[in-house]
């Protein structure tokens, strides 16, 4: 490894690196819309994207080099400067913290003589945090060089530290570190299906494209990614939209903290996911599909590629599928690289095109102007599975399940304070209390439904029911018992939004980071009632003027917890109504650190 004398972004390229770069770029057809995929491969191979590699890629693809820097710097897992041979990122969702992740991280930093966020002097290792990695049922979790490691304990941390010190290649680390359990606790029509490969596709072919659309419409199926848009209407609009080509996109970005059901579907039901996409292709007239897989699920790539290949070999993908002349469809997998915003459909499409994942101005919507400005049907992983089930069962049978406006079943990702976290499949209309009973939760104080952007409900609301009529959800179900501090829960979520804001629009870019500062100020005991009023002001601006759902929901955690758990905030407030944000003593902290002083004389007296 070349890490010594050269500056961190200036690693020199060896001949073998150059031929690797050439090969990767060639593999992606010298196509600038594959830039993100190219950069991801370079990151994986070289550990970062050194300056000379940026220049080389720019020249080869004939694009400005600042476009490459612009794209690379958008994604958390791409680095233009070396972050060490081993890049350790602790998953920093509240549920990881509840399982002790902060102490583990501190321990590891001590063990390796490191400060969080800094690369060790020998260029060996860096330790930091990352947003929820989707292992909430088996946390605390971390990523090492973008590979997920679950069930961290002090002992496991110790072992990892040793492996790093010994410079043991990741491929030689114990396999059980990387073990990811499915934890299916309750199966329903979807997880319990006994379908064979190609079965629903046969049914779809018998129906034909137009009838598939009708059937999905009549089934009452609504999107499972959060917004709940009627899937049949979306497919119909896409089918009717004019374009050179139509596309099908599967949203497997699953970034909402506390959500991990798509992970399990991709592991256990990959065929059904691809079958749903193929049915959709038949319905909208697409020849090409993409599955956008979040970078955190990189470990699933080989498995998914294997399933795709088997389906090609079985005539379920490719040319003249199942012998039907002209029924051509294939699926490509694109990996993300650490950006929650890429779950937003138009940002996802930008990212698919190799750009920064910034949400587009809408209208127009993806159904008419999606991938490469062509009509695109984009749906969540679970939605494609449910659509396949609806075709298999028939609309009448499918729509009889669940409630009037929320048909079918829903996968719920249960994590937090309960003895049996994991995946639970229910018919819509199930109550929160029923789920709490099933997962064995006791003394529950609050449940966060659908992740930080969703809603936090308190005890008196546990009779409420999941479904579009009452509590819509993308699947996250985080349980908090009465030992938890709901202020800290909200503060964690606020940090998440600030970290994940794409930075495009003023309200979200500035507002989320101000909100974070306000919550930190309250946490430090410096907050006043004035700050709570400011939160309400920020909320109004974020909700009404933000460009996309991230900004619009970023204040929810604070507003909801303020509503139910106001004392958790008020007990931290200073009594006076205004306290300047500038904390003189705090400002001296850095000087104290540099001089190694922390005695009384190095502090300013509190004078109010």
Partner 1 sequence: MEFPVSDTFQLDGKPVVFETGQTVMQAALAAGHYIPHLCYHPEFKPHGSCKLCTVKVNGRTAASCTMPAEAGLEVESDIDELNALRRTLVQMLFAEGNHFCPSCEKSGNCVLQALGYDLEVHSAGFRHQFPDRPLDASHPDILLDFNRCILCELCVNASAEVDGKHVFALAGRGNSKHLIVNAESGLLKDTNIALTDKAMSVCPVGVIIKKGVGFSTPIGERRYDQRPISQQALDDAPRPPSGEAHD
Ligand X SMILES: Cc1cc2nc3c(=O)[nH]c(=O)nc-3n(C[C@H](O)[C@H](O)[C@H](O)COP(=O)(O)O)c2cc1C
Binding site for ligand SF4 (CB under 6 A): 341, 359, 501-505, 508-509, 546-548, 550-551
Min. distance of Cβ 483 from partner 1 in angstroms?
32
Closer to ligand FES by Cβ: residue 79 or 263: 263
Min. distance of Cβ 517 from partner 1 in angstroms?
7
Min. distance of Cβ 516 from ligand FES in angstroms?
19
Long-range CB pairs of 313-321 (<8 Å, 24+ gap) are 314/197, 314/198, 316/197, 316/198, 316/201, 316/274, 316/275, 316/278, 317/274, 317/278, 321/201, 321/278
d(CA 453, CA 549) in angstroms, rounded, equals: 8
Closer to ligand FES by Cβ: residue 48 or 504: 504
Min. distance of Cβ 541 from ligand SF4 in angstroms?
11
Give, as ranges, the residues between 383 and 422 that touch ligand X (CB under 6 A): 383
Query: Do residues 107 and 140 make contact, with C-beta atoms less than 8 angstroms apart?
Result: no
Min. distance of Cβ 132 from ligand SF4 in angstroms?
17
Min. distance of Cβ 99 from ligand FES in angstroms?
8
Give, as ranges, the residues between 484 and 523 that touch partner 1 (CB under 8 A): 498-507, 509-514, 517
540 binds, among ligand X, partner 1, ligand FES, none (CB under 5 to 8 A by kind): partner 1
Please tell me whether the peptide bond between 89 and the residue prior to it is cis, using omega within 30 degrees of 0.
no
Contacts of 108 by beta carbon, 8 Å cutoff, 6+ apart: 88, 114, 127, 157, 160, 161
Contacts of 4 by beta carbon, 8 Å cutoff, 6+ apart: 123
Q: Segment contacting partner 1 (CB under 8 A): 36-44, 423-431, 462-470, 545-553? A: 545-553
Q: Please tell me whether residue 236 binds ligand X under the rule CB under 6 A.
A: no
Give, as ranges, the residues between 237 and 266 that touch ligand X (CB under 6 A): 251, 253-256
Q: Which of 139, 366, 452, 475 binds ligand FES (CB under 6 A)?
A: 139
Please tell me whether the peptide bond between 158 and the residue prior to it is cis, using omega within 30 degrees of 0.
no
Q: Which of 136, 270, 284, 401 binds ligand FES (CB under 6 A)?
A: 136
Closer to ligand SF4 by Cβ: residue 496 or 504: 504
Give all strands (DSSP E) within 443-559, no chain letters: 444-449, 455-458, 476-481
Q: Which of 32, 47, 134, 232 binds ligand FES (CB under 6 A)?
A: 134
d(CA 240, CA 341) in angstroms, rounded, equals: 28
Q: Please tell me whether residue 91 binds ligand FES under the rule CB under 6 A.
A: yes
Q: Please tell me whether residue 24 binds partner 1 under the rule CB under 8 A.
A: no
Place of tokens 């229910």: 426
d(CA 2, CA 415) in angstroms, rounded, equals: 42
Q: Among 181, 103, 114, which Cα is nearest to 148's?
A: 181
Two tokens, residue 61: 């693809």
Q: Work out the burial of residue 318: count CB atoms within 10 Å of its CB; fewer than 13 is exposed, 13-18 middle, 19 or more buried.
A: middle
d(CA 269, CA 111) in angstroms, rounded, equals: 41
> Strand, coil or helix: what is 46?
helix
Closer to partner 1 by Cβ: residue 160 or 347: 347
Closer to ligand FES by Cβ: residue 134 or 354: 134
Q: Work out the burial of residue 48: count CB atoms within 10 Å of its CB; fewer than 13 is exposed, 13-18 middle, 19 or more buried.
A: buried
Q: Please tell me whether residue 531 binds ligand FES under the rule CB under 6 A.
A: no
Contacts of 504 by beta carbon, 8 Å cutoff, 6+ apart: 358, 359, 547
Give, as ranges, the residues between 68 and 127 that touch partner 1 (CB under 8 A): 69-70, 73-75
Give, as ranges, the residues between 567 and 596 that touch partner 1 (CB under 8 A): 581-582
Stated as kind and residue range, the H or E segment containing 390 is helix 381-393
Closer to ligand FES by Cβ: residue 80 or 135: 135
380 binds, among ligand SF4, ligand X, partner 1, none (CB under 5 to 8 A by kind): ligand X
Min. distance of Cβ 336 from ligand X in angstroms?
10
Q: Please tell me whether residue 256 binds ligand FES under the rule CB under 6 A.
A: no
Q: Which residues of this protein are in contact with ligand FES, per CB under 6 A? A: 91, 93, 95-96, 132-136, 139, 141, 257
Contact residues for partner 1 (CB under 8 A)? 51, 54-55, 64-67, 69-70, 73-75, 339, 356, 361, 363, 498-507, 509-514, 517, 534, 537, 540-541, 544-547, 581-582
């Amino acid at each position: 490894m070349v890490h010594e004398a050269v500056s961190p972004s200036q690693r020199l390229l060896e001949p073998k690196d150059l031929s690797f770069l050439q090969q990767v770029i060639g593999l992606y057809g010298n196509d600038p819309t594959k830039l993100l995929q190219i950069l991801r491969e370079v990151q994986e191979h070289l550990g970062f994207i050194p300056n000379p590699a940026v220049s080389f890629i720019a020249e080869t693809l004939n694009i400005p080099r600042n476009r490459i820097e612009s794209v690379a710097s958008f994604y958390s897992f791409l680095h233009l400067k070396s972050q060490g041979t081993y890049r350790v990122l602790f998953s920093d969702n509240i549920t990881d913290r509840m399982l002790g992740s902060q102490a583990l991280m501190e321990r590891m930093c001590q063990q390796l003589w490191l400060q969080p966020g800094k690369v060790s002097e020998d260029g060996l290792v860096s330790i930091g945090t990352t947003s929820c990695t989707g292992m909430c049922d088996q946390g605390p979790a971390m990523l090492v060089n973008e590979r997920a490691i679950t069930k961290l304990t002090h002992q496991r941390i110790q072992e990892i530290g040793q492996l790093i010190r010994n410079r043991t290649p990741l491929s030689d680390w114990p396999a059980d570190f990387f073990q990811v359990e499915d934890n299916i606790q309750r199966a329903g029509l979807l997880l319990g299906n006994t379908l064979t490969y190609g079965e629903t596709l046969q049914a779809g072919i018998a129906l034909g494209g137009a009838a598939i659309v009708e059937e999905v419409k009549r089934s009452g199926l609504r999107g499972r990614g959060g917004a709940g848009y009627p899937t049949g209407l979306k497919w119909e609009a896409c089918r009717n939209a004019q374009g050179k080509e139509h596309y099908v996109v599967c949203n497997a970005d699953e970034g909402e903290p506390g959500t991990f059901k798509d992970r399990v579907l991709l592991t256990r039901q990959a065929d059904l996911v691809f079958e749903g996409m193929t049915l959709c292709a038949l319905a909208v007239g697409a020849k090409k599909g993409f599955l956008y897989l979040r970078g955190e699920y990189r470990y699933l790539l080989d498995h998914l590629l294997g399933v795709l290949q088997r389906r090609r070999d079985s005539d379920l993908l490719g040319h003249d599928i199942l012998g039907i002349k002209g029924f051509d469809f294939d699926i490509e997998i694109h990996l993300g690289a650490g950006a929650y915003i890429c779950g937003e459909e138009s940002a996802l499409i930008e990212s698919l095109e190799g750009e920064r994942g910034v949400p587009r101005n809408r209208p127009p919507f993806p159904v008419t102007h999606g991938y490469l400005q062509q009509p695109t049907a984009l749906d969540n992983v679970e939605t494609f599975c449910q659509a396949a089930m609806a075709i298999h069962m028939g609309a009448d049978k499918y729509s009889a399940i669940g409630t009037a406006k929320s048909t079918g079943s829903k996968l719920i990702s249960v994590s937090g304070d309960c003895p049996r976290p994991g995946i639970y499949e229910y018919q819509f209309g199930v109550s929160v209390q029923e789920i709490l009973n099933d997962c064995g939760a006791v003394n529950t104080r609050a449940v966060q439904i659908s992740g930080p952007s969703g809603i936090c409900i308190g005890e008196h609301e546990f009779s409420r029911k999941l479904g579009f009529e009452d509590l819509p959800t993308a699947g996250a179900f985080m349980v908090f018992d009465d030992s938890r501090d709901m202020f800290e829960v909200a503060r964690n979520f606020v940090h998440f939004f600030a970290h994940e804001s794409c930075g495009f629009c003023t309200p979200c870019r500035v507002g989320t980071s101000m909100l974070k500062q306000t919550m930190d100020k309250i946490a430090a005991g410096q907050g006043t009632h004035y700050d709570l009023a400011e939160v309400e002001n920020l909320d109004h601006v974020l909700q009404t003027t933000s460009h996309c759902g991230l900004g619009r929901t970023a204040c929810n955690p604070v507003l909801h917890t303020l509503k139910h758990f106001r004392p958790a905030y008020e007990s931290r407030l200073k009594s006076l109504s205004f306290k300047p944000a500038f904390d003189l003593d705090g400002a001296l902290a850095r000087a104290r650190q540099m001089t190694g002083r922390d005695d009384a004389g190095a502090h300013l007296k509190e004078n109010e």
